[in-house]
């Protein structure tokens, strides 16, 4: 994926979505969006765009709102990418550690860097995203504020890195989905590993979930992720997000999907794509 693509992300330049985009698409131009929904709308309204969207983090779990946007816009998943997250304490060039009283960042980043915050007795300021915190810092003359963000953010906004890799736990990884409006499905190859993603809603009948997933067991298909989330504004209906290993052209997968569809009232295939090599680590 090195050719120039039109990419949209949520957050400012320097966000981890931007880093993931650079690794996937080289230095293709990136359109920044204020919200996840705005990014989805960009790709929905212009099929020449792809979006790079975080869906889950190894420490923080699933990313809020994404599961509700997937069935709403029904963009297709073209690929997945696992991005290592390394947080840094960054500040203005004329600022020293002793000057800092406040640290600004996204709530998840602040939660992942509690050791340095507690050690220095920093007060925290919650922002919409990590890179946005760095951008705001670059526009301020207040030496008492630092930010938690990526090295790319420090480079883009001409800031100084006071301390690198300040996260409490190493091995912090975010899984991203690369999505677009066009259906883009790789050819089936028995020598390659694929992931299929779908969202479904069960029929209202006893043991419906047990029955619809039985086909995966009998056909020896490994489910890698299954999550439920409420249909918006109701407690009566639930959608399920499912990732499993396999390709829709595989006969065993077709058998499992037939069983799944029999016990669901709504089923959407969001994508078939090659499994990231990260899964083999």
Active site residues per annotation: 174, 176
Query: In 3D, which of 62, 69, 2, 24 has the Cα closest to residue 42?
Result: 69
| Residues 8 and 43: beta-carbon distance below 8 Å | yes
Give CA angle at 177 (251, 104), nearest 5°: 155
For residue 214, what are its two tokens? 């039985």
| Residues 146 and 90: beta-carbon distance below 8 Å | yes
Burial of 192 (0-12, 13-18, 19+ CB in 10 A): exposed
DSSP 208-240: HHHHHHHHHHHTT--EEEEEEEEPTT-SS-EEE
- What are the residue ranges of helices labelled H in 10-101? 16-25, 36-45, 66-73
| Residues 10 and 35: beta-carbon distance below 8 Å | yes
For residue 238, what are its two tokens? 């639930």
- For residue 241, what are the β-bridge partners? 199, 227
What's the CA gap between 50 and 43, in Å, rounded? 6
């Amino acid at each position: 994926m090195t050719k120039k693509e039109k990419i949209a992300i949520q957050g400012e330049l320097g966000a981890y979505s931007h880093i993931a985009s650079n690794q996937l698409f080289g230095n293709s131009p990136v359109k920044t969006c204020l919200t996840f929904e705005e990014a989805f709308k960009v790709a929905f309204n212009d099929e020449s765009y792809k979006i790079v969207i975080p869906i889950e983090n190894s420490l923080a779990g699933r990313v809020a709102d994404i599961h509700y946007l997937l069935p709403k816009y029904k963009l297709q998943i073209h690929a997945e990418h696992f991005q290592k997250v390394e947080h840094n304490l960054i500040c203005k060039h004329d600022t020293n550690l002793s000057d800092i009283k406040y640290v600004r960042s996204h709530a998840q980043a602040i939660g992942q860097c509690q050791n340095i915050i507690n050690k220095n007795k920093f007060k925290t300021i919650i922002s919409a995203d990590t890179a946005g915190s760095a951008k705001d810092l670059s526009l301020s003359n207040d030496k008492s504020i630092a930010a938690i963000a990526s090295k790319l953010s420090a480079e883009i906004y001409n800031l100084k890195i006071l301390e690198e890799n300040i996260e409490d736990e190493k091995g912090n990884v975010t899984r991203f989905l690369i999505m677009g409006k066009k259906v883009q499905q790789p050819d089936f190859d028995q020598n390659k590993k694929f992931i299929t993603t779908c969202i479904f809603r069960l029929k209202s009948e006893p043991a419906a979930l047990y029955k619809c997933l039985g086909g995966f067991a009998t056909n020896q298909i490994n489910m890698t992720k299954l999550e439920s989330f409420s249909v918006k504004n109701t407690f009566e209906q639930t959608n399920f997000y499912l990732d499993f290993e396999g390709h829709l052209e595989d006969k065993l997968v077709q058998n499992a999907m037939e069983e799944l569809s029999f016990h669901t009232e709504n089923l959407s295939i969001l994508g078939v794509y090659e499994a990231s090599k990260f899964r083999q680590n």
